[in-house]
């Protein structure tokens, strides 16, 4: 029991430093709201406001606390950018020009929702069918110690007023990240959903280094001027080589900058995986670097969103207003960001988790599961007293 309380208290000190960094320049009521909501999200396992309020060590009725949360969510859209940039300041200290940034689109499925604002049809990735819900843009990065940091989680609806298109939403979020980090910072990894000329051309214009998985149906141009479908080119390269990894310089039609294709065979699939990048892959070692960077995408993105949906409760909320929902999801990603901060600040936090069998049931390489389970298990009746250290008055 004592070790469990110590973990909660140690994490509480880190939490207060994390929130004080986020809330620089914010008023005391806003700081109090962010502190209590983030604390409640970490320990509740869902985004239902009354459940979050039940974890806040403050006197008062749950409904009154939840009502205050709802009022701050409705008015919170104006403080998100400074709050976000303060958070990026924490993450940027651990990044460099070669850090990996992984971006993707995911769904927030709400199949039974009827009265939520701007709710639209999305494709449920788990069930493979159309349901009501919202799309969500997600970006993660890996720091110098290979710790995953979420950088943005932003839900949107194509039914919302002023929402032009999915491409416009993606480019807007990436431009905001460029505004903070600077153009050309980091290496961006994208899945097949970003294999669009309307995105690749802006990437090239902004000097963004990228690795994009290809569908294979794109027309490309070789050095000798021959036009060929990318899938056919890769098939030809494998026919001419005995290696399971091939690469070649090429161009897109009407684009002068040279690009490179890197393709490799996988044991689990008959079809090769095809990547397009703006980084030079003129020999096998450079091509291997491209492949290895892309393979880190799964843990960086897919496992992260599984954690957010399964342990943070990304799809379990009951907020009807569109802007309130956006603020709530944004703060949920900051709760995961705190776990990244905790791992970076306390290197020994992993060794202090005792029950290795229980905490390793989830993917062994993903420490977020183990941390959040350990924190919640430590929250017994006695340990709950130590949550007051998490929610100190600003």
Distance CA 176, CA 171 (A): 9
Q: Is residue 300 part of a domain?
A: no
Please give the C-alpha separations between residue 328 and each of 70, 73, 115, 316, 332, in angstroms, as whole numbers.
9, 7, 17, 11, 6
Overall number of domains in the chain = 1
Q: Does 22 fall in a domain?
A: yes
| Residues 7 and 69 sit within 8 Å (Cβ to Cβ) | no
Kindly state whether residue 374 falls inside one of the protein's structural domains.
yes
Residue 289 lies in a domain: no
* Phi-psi sector, 312: left (phi>0), alpha (psi -120 to 50), beta: alpha
Instruction: Tell me if 304 is assigned to some domain.
Output: no
Domain around 17: 2-78+333-389
Q: How far apart are CA 181 and CA 163, in angstroms?
A: 25
Residue 285: burial class (beta carbons within 10 Å; 0-12, 13-18, 19+): exposed
pTM, to two decimals: 0.91
Closest CA to 6 of 391, 351, 378: 378
Give the residues across from 112 on adjacent strands: none
Residue 169 lies in a domain: no
Is residue 219 in a domain?
no
Residue 97 burial (CB count, 10 A): 11
DSSP assignments along 74-132, one per residue = HTGGGGHHHHHHHHHHHHHTT--TT-EEEEEEEEEE-TT-SS-TT-EEEEETTTTEEEE
- Per-residue pLDDT of the chain in tens (394 residues, 90 and over written 9): 445 556 777 788 899 999 999 999 899 999 999 999 999 999 988 999 999 998 887 667 888 999 999 999 998 888 899 999 999 999 999 999 889 999 999 999 999 988 899 999 998 877 778 999 999 999 999 998 888 999 999 999 989 988 888 999 999 999 999 999 998 899 999 999 999 999 999 999 988 999 999 999 999 999 999 999 999 999 999 999 999 999 999 999 989 999 999 999 988 788 999 999 999 999 999 999 999 999 988 766 788 888 999 999 999 999 999 999 999 999 999 999 999 999 998 877 776 665 554 545 544 447 788 888 888 877 654 545 556 767 766 6
The whole-number pLDDT of residue 57 equals 77
Q: What share of the chain is helix, strand, coil (3-state, %, to 5)?
A: 50, 20, 35
Counting every residue, how long is the chain? 394
Residues 390, 15 contacting (CB under 8 angstroms): yes
Please give the radius of gyration of the chain, using alpha carbons only, rounded to the nearest integer.
Answer: 23
DSSP SS3 for 219: strand
The alpha carbon dihedral of 327, 49, 13, 372 has a sign of: negative
> Could you give the C-alpha distances from 388 to 48, 68, 378, in angstroms and in order?
21, 19, 14
């Amino acid at each position: 029991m004592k070790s469990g309380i110590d973990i909660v208290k140690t994490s509480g000190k880190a939490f207060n430093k994390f929130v004080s960094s986020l809330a620089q320049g914010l008023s005391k009521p806003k700081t109090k709201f962010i502190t209590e909501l983030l604390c409640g999200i970490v320990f509740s396992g869902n985004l239902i406001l009354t459940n979050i309020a039940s974890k806040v060590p403050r006197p008062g009725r749950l409904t009154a606390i939840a009502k205050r949360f709802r009022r701050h969510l409705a008015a919170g859209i104006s403080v998100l950018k400074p709050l976000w940039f303060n958070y990026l300041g924490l993450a940027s200290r651990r990044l460099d020009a070669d850090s990996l940034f992984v971006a993707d689109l995911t769904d927030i499925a709400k199949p039974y929702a009827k009265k939520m604002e701007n709710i639209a049809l999305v494709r449920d990735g788990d069930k493979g069918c159309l349901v009501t819900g919202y799309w969500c843009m997600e970006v993660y990065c890996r720091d110098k110690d290979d710790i995953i940091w979420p950088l943005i989680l932003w839900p949107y609806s194509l039914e919302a007023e002023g929402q032009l298109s999915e491409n416009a939403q993606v480019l807007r979020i990436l431009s905001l990240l460029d505004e903070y980090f600077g153009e050309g910072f980091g290496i961006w990894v994208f899945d097949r959903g970003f294999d669009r000329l309307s995105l690749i051309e802006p990437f090239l214009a902004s000097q963004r280094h990228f690795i994009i998985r290809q569908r294979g149906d794109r027309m490309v141009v070789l050095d000798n001027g021959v036009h060929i479908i990318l899938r056919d080119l890769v098939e030809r390269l494998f026919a001419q080589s005995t290696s399971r990894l091939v690469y070649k310089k090429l161009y897109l039609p009407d684009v002068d900058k040279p690009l490179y294709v890197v393709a490799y065979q996988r044991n689990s699939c008959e079809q090769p995986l095809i990547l397009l990048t703006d980084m030079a892959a003129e020999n096998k070692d450079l091509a291997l670097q491209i492949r290895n960077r892309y393979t880190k995408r799964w843990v960086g993105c897919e496992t992260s969103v599984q954690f957010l949906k399964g342990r943070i409760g990304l799809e379990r909320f009951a907020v009807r207003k569109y802007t309130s929902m956006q603020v709530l999801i944004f703060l949920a990603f900051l709760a995961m960001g705190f776990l990244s901060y905790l791992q970076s600040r306390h290197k020994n936090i992993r060794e202090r988790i005792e029950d290795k069998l229980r905490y390793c049931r989830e993917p062994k390489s993903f420490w977020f599961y183990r941390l959040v389970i350990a924190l919640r298990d430590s929250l017994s009746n006695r340990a709950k007293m130590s949550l007051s250290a998490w929610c100190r008055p600003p």
